[in-house]
Amino acid sequence: NDDKVTIIATDAAGNETKQLVTVSVKDFVLSTSVVWNNIGDDNNINIAELAMATLSGTVTSADSTFTDLNIASIVFKQNNTIVHTINTALPVINNNTWTLDHDNAWASKLVDGNCIVIVNLSANSGGITGQGEAVVVIDIVAPVTPVLNFTDTGLSNDGITKNGTMTVGDLETGATWQYSIDGGTNFTSGTGSSFILNEGTYVENTIQIKQTDV
């Protein structure tokens, strides 16, 4: 947008000189998308996914005359605290796209909880800046081992019961769980917090349970 500005110079005697100039104001918009790769589509990163995770993005701008377009830094924040900043060996922007390869130097700094990644951009020798960010949930701590209980209806501690209901405890909120009655060869998805065994004899370690968090 072009705006006209009047510049007035006044000397000690009160004499004025005016100069009308035209000022061109241009809005520069510089931003980038930030995408986590190799983490599935649930926006939650488990320990296996974190071991392969990369970041990438596409830079967008309202002007094609930028010079020296680059990534100035990449910041990782958790719980409103900066846990790691990459200032060197930064990704190169090529054809407006960039990729941050997996590196344990930054991945090892992430812990359970929400994680905000901020990619800071710079152009025209730092005269123009912009950024982009993405939010994910880091969940790399395995859930506790679930507990299996049953009601012993026979003699105390004789391991004989007429009640086939097996109760599962210590289930994590939102987690899924499965049980096996053949020593872990095959697992069946469970619901609620119990399952029923058919009549029969089950030796030690035949019945197994496991849970998987979100």
Mean pLDDT by 10 residues, the chain (214 residues): 72 76 63 96 93 97 79 96 97 96 97 97 90 95 87 76 91 90 95 93 92 80
**Same domain flag for 77 and 173:** no
Q: Please say which residue of 117, 138, 159 terminates a domain.
A: 138
Split into its structural domains, the chain has a count of 2
Pairing status of strand 30-32 against strand 35-37: unpaired
Rounded Cα gap, residues 148 and 125, in angstroms: 63
Instruction: Give the other-Cβ count within 10 Å of 51's Cβ.
Output: 13
Rounded Cα gap, residues 102 and 49, in angstroms: 11
> Residue 213 to residues 92, 106, 112, 140: CA-CA distances in angstroms?
36, 24, 12, 10
pLDDT at 210: 93
pLDDT at 35: 98
**What DSSP state is assigned to residue 106?**
H
**Same domain flag for 167 and 121:** no
**Same domain flag for 36 and 134:** yes
Structural domain of 102: 30-138
Q: Please say which residue of 82, 110, 138 terminates a domain.
A: 138
Residue 53 has φ and ψ, to the nearest 5°, of -65, 140
pLDDT at 2: 55
Contact between 155 and 170 (Cβ < 8 Å):
no
**Same domain flag for 134 and 79:** yes
Residues 6 or more apart whose CB falls under 8 angstroms from that of 189 comprise 176, 177, 178
What residue has token string 């993005």? 57
pLDDT at 93: 95
Does residue 19 lie in a domain region?
A: no
pLDDT at 11: 72
